[in-house]
């Protein structure tokens, strides 16, 4: 069935192109376009992500070396860096953002049955952000410090399958907690966050939306104990309390009761205090959920190491956001391919093999026959302590 089809073309077949073209038509993305459509731009940029190309010239040289196969990869003509640069500057990044969201919906459906590692029926999310440093003179639209620029990638990660369900790209000045104003709460879902998101008025908005949160308490928390539940200290749970906030502003921002769990990590002997509005789950499950928050940190580390989101092919806001959203689409695409073909390999292994075989004409499964999927890079011996922050 795949005779004569390159591996790259087979990967692109997993994408819902009818959906992509509907998005383009709705936004007139290809209006007045003569040389490179939005679909061709996406293919070229996806190729650059999969093969980790360094620059526009690098993309042009690499594809021109395989000019005989370009048509079968979905390219109607030779790719020129000036044409690609113009497409990145002028094709609306919102097209790629909406398409990435459609892919995310597909991937989350495929991974909905995966285990969280804890007994939990609720959808669990980890919310965090990563900062990508930029040069202020080259990217003046992304202010951060007096002498440097940066953008932030705020991500809500579905802990089932580690699929990003919400991404907001902002300049470096936007504080993490402000993303809670953009986020649309999902009733019944659990949002796991670090102390940077501790704003009681915003957390109460989540509470009123029938959503749950798990976060860390600050050392200066002013609260009184209402009730203490029985705990087993052998499990590390020192106390499980119902509390009310004492501060004038905090009590007005969050007038309801909170649950405070004090946990002593047996590995580091550090004592951690968690706050949540979920009174039904066992205290050990709350602690395990916060530990699972580290998956979003690993997600940021993974995409920074294996996709092109730290260096950009263009300098405008549109070019940068387009590249980020296409990188997210590639990450989700690889996750979809892994699930649909039941490939017993990590995303790292998939990307490494794809980067070397995109021009080969073979079925996708054949590229992984006889391969050893146990990669040393899949295990991080120097992983930071999950409860370090």
pLDDT for residue 381: 42
- Closest of 115, 128, 120 to residue 154, by C-alpha: 128
254/288 same-domain check: yes
Cα–Cα distance, 292 to 181 (Å, whole number): 24
Q: Are 103 and 153 in contact (CB under 8 A)?
A: no
Asked whether the predicted pLDDT for residue 178 surpasses 60, the reply is: yes
Q: Which of 178, 173, 169 has the alpha carbon at shortest distance from 97?
A: 169
3-state SS string for 286-325: HHHHHHHCHHHHHHHHHHHHHCCCCCCCCCCHHHHHHHHH
pLDDT the model gives residue 34: 81
Does one domain contain both 250 and 286?
yes
Q: With respect to residue 73, please indicate whether it lies within any of the assigned structural domains.
A: yes
Helix (H, G, I), strand (E, B) or coil at 9: helix
Least confident of 16-20, 47-51, 301-305, 315-319: 301-305
State whether residue 129 is helix, strand or coil.
strand
The pLDDT, as a whole number, for residue 377 is: 45
Q: What average pLDDT does this structure show over 222-244?
A: 91
Average pLDDT, the chain: 88
Q: Which domain holds residue 79?
A: 7-96+313-371
3-state helix, strand, coil in the chain (%, to 5): 45, 15, 40
Residue 44 confidence (pLDDT)? 93
230 and 318 part of one domain: no
Beta strand 271-276 with 212-216 is antiparallel
Q: Give CA–CA dist 238/233, Å, rounded.
A: 5
Sheet architecture: strand order including 271-276: 163-171, 149-158, 124-134, 190-192, 212-216, 271-276, 258-264, 237-245, 223-229
> Residue 385: inside a domain, yes or no?
no
Q: Give yes or no: residues 201 and 246 share one domain.
A: yes
Is 158 inside any structural domain? no
Question: What six digits make up the tokens of 95?
Answer: 């097209």
Q: Across residues 107-114, what is the average pLDDT?
A: 87
Q: What is residue 169's predicted lDDT score, i.e. its pLDDT?
A: 92
Q: Which of 150, 156, 151, 153 lies closest to 129, judged by CA?
A: 153
Q: Write out pLDDT tens, residues 312-322.
A: 999 999 999 99
Residues 20 and 42 sit within 8 Å (Cβ to Cβ): yes
- pLDDT category at 3 given cuts 50, 70, 90 is low
Residue 361 lies in a domain: yes
pLDDT value, residue 387: 42
Place of tokens 């509390």: 243
Distance of CA 357 to the CA centre of its chain: 26
What letter does residue 114 receive in the DSSP assignment? Answer: S
pLDDT in tens, 355-375: 888 888 888 888 777 555 444
DSSP SS3 for 262:
strand
Mean pLDDT for 41-66 is 91
Question: Span 9-22, mean pLDDT?
Answer: 93
CB within 8 Å of 83: residues ≥ 6 apart: 35, 36
**Mean pLDDT, to the nearest integer, of 127-137?**
93
**pLDDT computed for residue 77 by the predictor:** 82
Per-residue pLDDT tens digits for 154-175: 999 999 888 999 999 998 999 9
Q: Are residues 326 and 266 in the same domain?
A: no
Is position 384 within any domain?
A: no
Quote the pLDDT of residue 370: 57
Alpha carbons 74 and 68: distance in angstroms, whole number: 12
Residue of 182, 227, 189 lying closest to 207 (CA atoms): 189
Task: Report the pLDDT value the prediction gives residue 389, as an integer from 0 to 100.
Answer: 38
pLDDT, tens only, 23-33: 999 999 888 88
Section 212-235 average pLDDT = 91
Count up the domains in the chain and report the number.
2
Of 259, 292, 325, the domain-final residue: 292
Q: Cα–Cα–Cα angle for 83, 58, 148, nearest 5°? A: 85
Note the pLDDT of residue 378.
Answer: 44
Q: Are 130 and 304 in contact (CB under 8 A)?
A: yes
**Domain match, 323 and 241 both:** no
Task: Judge residue 69's burial from the number of C-beta atoms within 10 Å of its C-beta, 0-12 exposed, 13-18 middle, 19 or more buried.
Answer: middle
In a domain, 117, yes or no: no
In a domain? residue 352:
yes
DSSP 8-state secondary structure symbol assigned to residue 167: E
What was the pLDDT predicted at 36?
A: 87
Domain check: are 274 and 214 in the same one?
Answer: yes
- Residue 356 confidence (pLDDT): 85
> Integer distance in angstroms from the first to the last C-alpha of the chain?
51
Is 18 part of any domain?
yes
Question: Encoding tokens for residue 62?
Answer: 């690499």
Clarify whether residues 203 and 288 are in a common domain: yes
Average pLDDT over residues 48-75: 87
Residue 248: give its domain's CATH number: 3.30.1370
The pTM assigned to this predicted structure is: 0.86
Confidence of residue 4 (pLDDT cuts 50, 70, 90): low
Q: Give how far Cα 40 sits from Cα of 12, 14, 142, 145, 331, Å.
A: 11, 16, 28, 36, 18
């Amino acid at each position: 069935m795949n005779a004569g089809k390159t591996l790259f073309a087979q990967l692109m077949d997993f994408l819902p192109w009818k959906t992509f073209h509907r998005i383009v038509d709705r936004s007139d993305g290809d209006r007045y376009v003569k040389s490179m459509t939005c679909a061709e731009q996406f293919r070229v940029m996806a190729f650059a992500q999969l093969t980790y190309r360094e620059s526009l010239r690098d993309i042009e040289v690499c594809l021109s070396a395989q000019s005989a196969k370009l048509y079968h990869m979905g390219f109607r003509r030779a790719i020129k860096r000036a044409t690609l640069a113009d497409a990145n500057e002028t094709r609306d990044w919102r097209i790629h953002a909406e398409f990435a969201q459609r892919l995310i919906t597909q991937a989350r459906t495929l991974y909905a049955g995966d285990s969280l590692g804890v007994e939990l029926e609720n959808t669990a999310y980890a919310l965090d952000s990563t900062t990508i440093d930029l040069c202020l003179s080259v990217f003046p639209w992304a202010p951060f410090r007096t002498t440097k620029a940066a953008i932030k990638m705020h991500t809500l990660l579905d802990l089932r399958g580690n699929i990003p369900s919400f991404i907001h790209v902002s300049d470096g000045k936007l504080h993490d907690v402000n993303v809670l104003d953009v986020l649309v709460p999902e009733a019944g879902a659990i949002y796991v966050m670090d102390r940077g998101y501790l704003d009681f008025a915003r957390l109460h908005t989540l509470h009123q939306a029938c959503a749950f949160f798990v976060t860390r308490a600050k050392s200066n928390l002013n609260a009184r104990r209402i009730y203490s539940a029985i705990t087993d200290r052998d499990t590390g749970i020192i106390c499980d309390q119902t509390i009310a906030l004492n501060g004038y502003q905090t009590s007005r921002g969050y007038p309801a009761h909170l649950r405070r769990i004090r946990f002593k990590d047996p590995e580091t002997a550090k004592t951690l205090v968690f706050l949540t509005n979920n009174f039904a789950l066992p205290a050990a499950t709350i602690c395990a959920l916060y530990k699972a928050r580290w998956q979003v940190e690993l997600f940021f580390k993974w995409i920074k190491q294996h996709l092109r989101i730290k260096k950009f092919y263009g300098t405008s806001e549109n070019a940068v956001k387009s590249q980020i959203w296409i990188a997210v689409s590639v990450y989700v695409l690889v996750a979809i391919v892994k699930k649909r073909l039941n490939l017993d390999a990590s995303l790292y292994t998939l990307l490494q093999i794809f980067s070397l075989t995109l021009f080969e004409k073979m079925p996708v499964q054949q590229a992984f026959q006889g391969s050893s999927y146990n990669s040393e890079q899949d295990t991080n011996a120097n992983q930071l302590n999950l409860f370090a922050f």
